[in-house]
Amino acid sequence: MTALTTKANIKAPDEFYAELLAVHEGLSKSESDALNARLILLLANHIGNRAVLSQALRAAALKD
């Protein structure tokens, strides 16, 4: 089983974050929510590994 990567793993994370914010600019709350849902499904499909996706769901559901 592949483990979920939770340590920083994105090259140029600041640029990615800026791009993520930019794609949301001018969207309503519902449009932004829909964009996030599409992005999640695209990335989940790219990952493909159900065990990793389940780990990600559990990690995201944790509240600090």
Global confidence as pTM:
0.87
- Alpha-carbon span 56 to 54, nearest angstrom: 5
Cα angle for residues 17, 60, 20 (degrees, 5° grid): 15
**Which value, in Å, is the radius of gyration of the alpha carbons in the chain?**
14
Q: Do the beta carbons of residue 4 and residue 59 sit within 8 Å?
A: yes
10-residue block means of pLDDT along the chain (64 residues)?
Answer: 91 97 98 98 97 96 84
Is residue 53 classed exposed, middle or buried when 0-12, 13-18 and 19+ CB atoms within 10 A define those classes? Answer: middle
